[in-house]
Structure 1
Amino acid sequence: MGFEQMIQFMRQVQGKVNTGLMTSLQTQSNPQHVAFVKQLQKELSVKDSLTKPLNELKVVVFDFETTGFHPEQGDEILSIGAVKVKEGKVLLDESFYSLVRYDQKLTDEIKMLTGLQEEELQQAPMLSNVLVQFFKYMQSDILVAHHATHERKFIQHASWREFRSRFQHRIVDTSFLIRLAEPHLNLIQLEECCEHCGIEVKDRHHALSDAKMTAKLWNIYVEKVQKLGLRTLEEVYSHLPLIDRPQ
């Protein structure tokens, strides 16, 4: 490598380092947000949730709309919807919904699937602010999602990226209850499960609408598994195949 090439190479490297440093500084989270999230994780009581009767649990049923399936490859959360369930009642007047800032171009597939538009996402709050509001909303309640692997991956990735905090909340998957209550069925998609249970499918792939449908599904299958003699999460997990049991 010649001298001029070496100088050019060093300038390129320096530029990349400076760009990376500036990006890191720009994306650094509010210290108060970081402190709040870390304190919330410390206060969680996982043990109590395992032994409390299912129909007495306070849960937050939630859903994410995202740009794809792989947060580690750059896919992002576009919206968060959630609704609370307390003692078998879906508290529709205590719901949560927010869009999340996204400044890139959406694919036509995502636009058609979710109904979201680039203009509204460009004016939405930043992810760190939305997550803090969502965490304040859910507090220490158990989280519930349908096929929760998707939501779990995104919220764990986002919590670490935005706050350098590991996400400790318990997330219960409604598909576990469905598998235990009706093992002969091969229901996968949320709309399939809702149609099977007589739940109206409305505004599919809108985060809040999906959360509301999942909440109704949760109540139905809590009742079904309790009739099988499974009263707590601990008993539900003990009856799941080893491969499905939460770690």
Structure 2
Amino acid sequence: MGVESFLQYMRDLYGKVNSSVLNTNSSGFNSQQLAFMRQFQKDLKVEVASRLALRDLKTVVFDIETTGFFPEKGDQIISIGAVKVIGCEIQEERFYSLVHIKEEISEEITELTGISNDHLVDAPNLSEVMVKFFEFIKDDTLVAHHSSHEKNFMQSACWKQFKTPFKHRIVDTSFLFKIVAPNHSIVTLEEWCKYSEISIENRHHALGDAKLTAILWTQYLHKAQEMGCNTLQDIYERFAKR
């Protein structure tokens, strides 16, 4: 989906945008479009989700693959994968895209992710992928496993591509784990899957890891509900009392 489709979605969502904002040119975003995207991020009602019943909470569980761990040092996103979830039910809607970068990928990253330089030659640029990703998630709550990695790269990408902060809430799966299984010091996604008897497939593939995280999220969200947590706010408050 292109820039115009994303802006049309935002116009439908907010019911206000000057028609000239939809006038794109071959160079991509104009100043009005960038300003509108910044307003879109600013207007996100990130706190509303905290009070929604967990059974009705709309989330997008996502994962990214990158060339390293430090966007501030030039490491880049090379793929994004995501799965939609409502309450404890995984939906059929999926998102996946490779991301074109100019730099060469190291052999170590290729071995880990299966992504080579050849795979990224014809992939869309990050700005295009981000637009499609925003359209996919809309104003749903994001979920990630050890989310600091995803958050750092999404913040960097939003600022570099659109000069706007990344405003979406990202809920870290560790909040659930520390409430439901507080006595376990498990860290990695793979270890949590093994502990939870979840079959591990497509590890270190953005969509594959998003699917595994979604299964974990729904399992532990259900357990949190059984413990009396009805909203995200309940989960945060219980975590704070630990």
The TM-score bracket by the shorter chain reads: 0.7 to 0.9
CA contact 2:88–2:219 (8 Å) conserved in 1: no
- Describe how 1:57-206 pairs up with structure 2 within 5 A: 57-92=57-92, 94-206=93-205
Q: How far is the alpha carbon of 1:238 from its aligned partner?
A: 1.7
The one-letter code sitting in structure 2 at the alignment partner of 1:90 is I
User: Aligned residue for 1:50?
Assistant: 50
Moved over 4 A (4+): none
Give the number of the structure whose alpha-carbon radius of gyration is greater.
Answer: 1
Query: When the two structures are aligned, how many residues end up with a matched partner?
Result: 215
CA contact 2:61–2:83 (8 Å) conserved in 1: yes
Q: How far is the alpha carbon of 1:210 from its aligned partner?
A: 0.4
Superimposed CA distance per residue, residues 173-230 of structure 1 (whole angstroms, 9 cap, x where no aligned partner)? 0111001110111111101111111211101000001001111111001111112222
Change (3 A) 1:197 1:36: farther
Runs of at least 5 residues in structure 2 that lack an aligned partner in the other structure: 1-26
d(CA) in 1 for partners of 2:192, 2:101: 31
Q: How far is the alpha carbon of 1:103 from its aligned partner?
A: 2.0
The one-letter code sitting in structure 1 at the alignment partner of 2:81 is G
User: Aligned residue for 1:30?
Assistant: 29
The one-letter code sitting in structure 2 at the alignment partner of 1:202 is E
**TM-score (normalised: structure 1):** 0.82
The one-letter code sitting in structure 2 at the alignment partner of 1:215 is A
d(CA) in 2 for partners of 1:105, 1:146: 27
d(CA) in 1 for partners of 2:68, 2:240: 28
Q: How far is the alpha carbon of 1:34 from its aligned partner?
A: 2.4
CA contact 1:29–1:163 (8 Å) conserved in 2: no
CA contact 1:144–1:174 (8 Å) conserved in 2: yes
CA root-mean-square deviation: 1.8
Q: How far is the alpha carbon of 1:88 from its aligned partner?
A: 1.9
d(CA) in 2 for partners of 1:89, 1:35: 36
Q: Secondary structure at the match of 2:64?
A: strand
User: Aligned residue for 2:208?
Assistant: 209
Q: How far is the alpha carbon of 1:33 from its aligned partner?
A: 5.3
Q: Secondary structure at the match of 2:239?
A: coil
Runs of at least 5 residues in structure 1 that lack an aligned partner in the other structure: 1-27
d(CA) in 2 for partners of 1:180, 1:44: 28
Superimposed CA distance per residue, residues 53-79 of structure 1 (whole angstroms, 9 cap, x where no aligned partner)? 222100000000001111011100000
The one-letter code sitting in structure 2 at the alignment partner of 1:85 is V
Change (3 A) 1:160 1:29: farther
**TM-score (normalised: structure 2):** 0.84
User: Aligned residue for 1:220?
Assistant: 219
d(CA) in 2 for partners of 1:81, 1:150: 14
CA contact 2:100–2:120 (8 Å) conserved in 1: yes
CA contact 2:88–2:222 (8 Å) conserved in 1: no
Q: How far is the alpha carbon of 1:36 from its aligned partner?
A: 5.0
d(CA) in 1 for partners of 2:112, 2:225: 35
